[in-house]
Structure 1
């Protein structure tokens, strides 16, 4: 996903292309790691000094609900990044220092499903946290 694809998806879902949304998408497009609302808000305020933290927060959650952004929680705080373009079902390794992520192409759900034969699993997430080689 990138800013151009995100704007198209927003329009398809009836959302306007506001200057604030466009700027948020540009900020996210420049990064390859998960970013906190606080981090994005700091950069966002350069162009929109009167904008509230809630404005950034609401827009990020809207983008997440539309599948434009992925979320994770680091140190008790939500972090966001563009939905990665890896084909098919996958999970992530996420660096707890810099927020960069790598796709993991294996899924532990086969083992879990075998242990819960009469259960209907509707959704799951699997993320591995640690330090990337650059941050060690």
Structure 2
């Protein structure tokens, strides 16, 4: 997903392109990582000082429903990022420090479960959490 596709999808589904919605989408386009609703709110405060958490959360829920963003949860917080799109099946490794992701091009479900008898798998999600080399302490490319 990118900014223009997201705006086009909103329009196609009959939703108005408000300044707040466009700002949220711009944030995801610029950040390219998982963000909490609180982080989105904090990034919007300068432009929308009276903005409520509920407004941000409602828009994130709408974007998730429309497939504009995808969500995950770690450390008890729901986090969002632009939906990575694509037609191929894949999974992610996620840095819990910066929220950036990388795609895993294999499916561990095949090794774990195979084709279970008397059960049709309709979907699954597999994520690996850790710390990327940019965020890991003691690496030469660490940002900290």
Shorter-chain TM-score category?
over 0.9
Q: Deviation per CA, 1:33-54, whole angstroms, max 9, x where unpaired?
A: 1011111101112111111100
Distance 2:57 2:50 in 1: 15
Cα distance in 2 for partners of 1:105, 1:65 equals 25
| Superposition map of 1:48-67 within 5 A | 48-67=48-67
Deviation at residue 110 of structure 1 after TM alignment: 2.3
More helix by share: 1
3-state SS of 1:78 partner = strand
Structure 1 residue ranges (4+ consecutive) displaced by more than 4 angstroms after TM superposition: none
1:87 CA displacement: 5.0
Instruction: Please tell me the root mean square deviation across aligned C-alpha atoms, in Å.
Output: 1.4
Does residue 8 (structure 1) correspond to residue 4 (structure 2)? The answer is: no
- TM-score normalised to structure 2 length: 0.88
Q: Which has the higher contact order (CA 8 A, sep 6+)?
A: 1
Give the aligned partner of residue 90 of structure 2. Answer: 90
Q: CA deviation at 1:116?
A: 1.8
Shift of 1:6: 0.1
Q: Please state how far the C-alpha of 1:109 moved relative to its aligned partner.
A: 2.5
Q: Show CA shifts across 1:75-100 (max 9, x none).
A: 11011111124551111000011111
Give ranges in structure 2 of 5+ residues lacking alignment: 137-144
Does 2:36 match 1:17?
no
Aligned pairs, number:
136
Alignment of 1:1-136 (within 5 A): 1-114=1-114, 116-136=116-136
Q: Distance in 2 between matches of 1:59 and 1:6?
A: 13
Under a length normalisation based on structure 1, what TM-score does the superposition of the two structures give? 0.93
Distance apart, 1:115 and its partner CA: 5.6
